[in-house]
Structure 1
């Protein structure tokens, strides 16, 4: 544009010099005026053309700039859309904090973790309602290296990881990832409790064994009748320890991720009848009868595991029943096979029903130890039933009896 203006200015100078030369030669002022007017008209037209070219160049530049801005805007929108999509599928909470320490964005997981916050109200941007999180943001958002911390809120545990964002040497904000680790913490707590319970359960029979063995070792002249009695008690505690260890190994196998059932089509009545034959001697010892009424049905089951579950339930009924009958009924109901095991024993208080499937939980500790129970039987039973995609429930009346109800799916 500058070159064109310089060229045009040179043309004007030449035009005026030409007009002066014409005047000097022809001495005709009218001719010179006409010539100057003609030159001026041409010059004005040239300026007009120049202006139009300049305006077109500006318009083209503006249009290209608008296109560039639109493309950049579209690219930013696409990136933001991808960011939103990714943030909502993380499976963890995501918080974006800007360079002023103000929260710019939270995803749906954060909103589900901290539901008390009014996310439609801009006051949430400081998370002042959630003091542990607010404190973490204030402590960490200006740090140059990642920071990790665990907080507890509303009886839940969260793991927070803060990662700072820099452009060159300039701090631009930070990303905070929030993981709900309540399940992990619960599992750790459960594992610690389980270890403590195992230690306690094994310590009791070991103490008994140690005590009786020391007495037998000291008193070599002990009465033979008393010696037989002590040896019987030792055998009983050894059997109890064996039961605990066997049940512990069973639970350990069930807790493994690769634990699988060996499913086969079998008549459920065969499994139940075989189980009854295995435990019948325990009922005979207590003068109890076992009656059963079973409707035949082919189910896709692991007979060995399911038999273990039924053994635990029937033996449980025998152990907690001093007189009466153990009734076992099996029937088809819609798309399920229902097994009911009913006793006329001591029953279960309503306050304890929800706890009976917990590991090492006992309603009557003394009776359980007398019968050699490990406190793990019902937990194993429930695990087996659930792995068969079934359900187990309890209906009990204190001092009148208990009914365990098992429902197993009938699959074609």
Structure 2
């Protein structure tokens, strides 16, 4: 409205009235159209984003799933390739990599089979001539007193080296049986403590020569085992402990619980360096090659012992620390071939002894750090 002044009459307010119903209706229509259009646009954008995301992530997800199946050993796994974009190139590269891995693994398996076959064939072929040589060497050895000094020494050396060769040959044959899956068990109720004492008695000459007593602690109930194989494991562990801990006692601890029995053989030798506990069971591995050559080790004893333990569904593990000796733990299930979840005996130092060792190492380290000088 606006004021209007009329002379000699007065001032009045003038108002103009105009209906806006049509304009309001138009605005409502426009608002509804914008809202509906916005909803359709948002819905369309969501569909577009979902499609683009699916187009990008689906090949990546397929590649990831294929990689996981490849990791699980399914070497024939491949990713379907479609298109010529970067994702298609990624799928093609993955397929090429998978094919290369499959080919290399196939070649390695073939070489491994050939190697096992070669070792098995050579070992079997050598048994007959070795038996003949053994018989001839025994004749020479029994008659060594009739020869001169050098000839007698040669007869003794020949007998010793043939014996070493026989041990190596028998170990190679045993390894070939494990590789071929032909090893089996002859189970019998056996008392592990009695078996340890029997093994120590059979090694008495070596233990007396090395001046190494065997101290046996603990006991365990009888279980089903192959006494020949377990005795071989114990013989290997005790003889190794005697060779590396000359003149110091060998501690043998026996323990058991409701699902397993365990034996720990601990020497007081030089121990193992960090990382060596996972290598001692490798074939032909030696902690000290020079020492092994002088003592006549083949590097196969612990590998065979590990296979003997696994054949019983058991464990054989090692622990060692420089200057603290080495411990080997054999764990066997009380029920034959039943999986075990833990060992009755802990492997390694106790908490207090480990803390004492750590504090001693820390003190030694602190003594090597030069102290600063005070300025006057």
TM-score tier by shorter-chain length is 0.5 to 0.7
Long gaps (5+) in structure 2? 1-58, 73-77, 123-129, 138-146, 337-376
Match of 1:318 in 2: 242
| Cα distance change of structure 1 residues 375 and 187 upon mapping to structure 2, 3 Å threshold | farther
Label 1:383 to 1:131 Cα distance change in 2 as closer, same or farther (>3 A): same
Q: Which residue of 2 aligns with 1:63?
A: none
Aligned to 1:388: 312
Q: Is 2:275 the partner of 1:327?
A: no
Q: Structure 1 residues 185, 129: closer, same or farther in 2, change over 3 A?
A: same
Residue 95 (structure 2) aligned to one of 129, 133, 145: 133
Report the Cα distance in structure 1 between the residues aligned to 2:67 and 2:96, rounded to whole angstroms. Answer: 13
| Residues 213-362 of structure 1: pairs in structure 2 closer than 5 A | 224-362=148-286
Helix, strand or coil at the partner of 1:395: strand
State whether residues 118 and 124 of structure 1, in contact with CA within 8 Å, keep that contact through their aligned partners in structure 2. no
Is the partner of 1:246 in helix, strand or coil?
helix
TM-score normalised over the length of structure 1: 0.52
The alpha-carbon deviation at position 332 of structure 1 amounts to 1.1
Q: How far apart are the structure 1 equivalents of 2:291 and 2:329?
A: 23
Q: Could you say which structure has the higher strand fraction?
A: 1
Contact 1:239 1:372 in 2 (8 A): no
What is the Cα deviation at residue 411 of structure 1? 2.0
Q: How many residues align?
A: 251
Greater mean deviation of Cα atoms: 388-397 or 367-376: 367-376
Residue 158, structure 1, aligned to residue 102, structure 2 = yes
Partner deviation per Cα, 1:304-325 (whole Å, 9 max, x = no partner)? 1111111111111112222201
Shift of 1:392: 1.4
Residues 291, 279 of structure 1: CA spacing in aligned structure 2 closer, same or farther, 3 A cutoff? Answer: same
Correspondence list, 1:2-151, <5 A = 109=66, 112-113=69-70, 126-128=88-90, 130-131=92-93, 133=95, 151=99
Matches of 1:109 and 1:263 in 2, distance apart?
Answer: 44
How far did residue 399 of structure 1 move?
Answer: 3.4
Paired with 1:363 and 1:240, the residues of 2 have a C-alpha distance of 20
Question: 3-state SS of the aligned residue for 1:244?
Answer: helix
Q: Report the Cα offset of residue 266 of structure 1.
A: 2.1
The 2-side partners of 1:278 and 1:230 are apart by 27
Q: Deviations along 1:231-250, whole A, 9 cap, x unmatched?
A: 33333221211110011111
> Distance between the aligned counterparts of 1:321 and 1:226, measured in 2?
33
Distance in 1 (CA, whole Å) between partners of 2:71 and 2:264 is 44
SS at match of 2:282: coil
Q: Following TM superposition, where does structure 1 have runs of at least 4 consecutive aligned residues deviating by more than 6 angstroms?
A: 192-199
Output one character per residue of 1:8-32: Cα deviation in whole Å (capped at 9) or x when no partner: xxxxxxxxxxxxxxxxxxxxxxxxx
Distance 1:273 1:118, change over 3 A: same
CA distance in 1, matches of 2:155, 2:117: 29
2:301 corresponds, among 377, 387, 390, to 377
| Rg larger in structure | 1
Change (3 A) 1:131 1:108: closer
Q: Distance in 2 between matches of 1:260 and 1:193?
A: 22
Q: Structure 2: how far apart are the matches of 1:248 and 1:352?
A: 23
* Alpha-carbon distance in structure 2 between the residues aligned to 1:193 and 1:287: 41
Contact 1:395 1:404 in 2 (8 A): yes
RMSD (CA atoms): 4.1
After superposition, the Cα gap between the structure-2 partners of 1:272 and 1:288, relative to the gap in structure 1 and judged at 3 Å, is same
